[in-house]
Amino acid sequence: MKSNQIVDAVRDLVCDAPRGNRCLAVLDKGFIFVGNISQPDNDGIYTLTYCKNVRKWGRNGLGGLCRGAKTAQATLDDSTPIMFHRSALIFSVPISNEWEDE
């Protein structure tokens, strides 16, 4: 069994976290982006596509932002795909495809 299959199996048992590669990525220097994240390449570079920058949000803290942009009153700015080194990724949170409307 591959490691990603193990992670999926454990996720199914312990929580109902969204599946797939859509995530909220918290990066160094306070940048927060939402998009489809790739696996890192051999040099440790991630690519985030179909992404938006979270400029600000008005309520419910980071936990509320993880649940949905609309309820957190988030301001989102369109972005081109970004690439960043794994050392810049503080953490990521899986989100649903409907995150912007939730």
Taking residues 77-89, report their average pLDDT.
Answer: 96
5-9, 33-37, 63-67, 76-80, range with the lowest pLDDT: 5-9
The more confidently predicted of residues 19 and 55 is 55
Torsion region of 66: left, alpha or beta (phi above 0 gives left; psi -120 to 50 gives alpha):
alpha
pLDDT at site 2: 63
pLDDT at site 3: 62
For residue 102, pLDDT over 80 is answered with no
pLDDT digits (tens, 9 = 90+) for 47-74: 999 999 999 999 888 889 988 999 899 9
- Token look-up 């591959």 returns 2
Residue type, 96: S
For residue 19, pLDDT over 80 is answered with no
Q: Out of 2.60.120.260, 2.30.30.100, 2.30.110.10, 3.20.10.10, which CATH number does the structure's domain 18-101 have? A: 2.30.30.100
Alpha carbon distances (Å) from 12 to 5, 6, 20, 43, 97: 11, 10, 13, 31, 18
- Classified as helix, coil or strand, 29 is helix
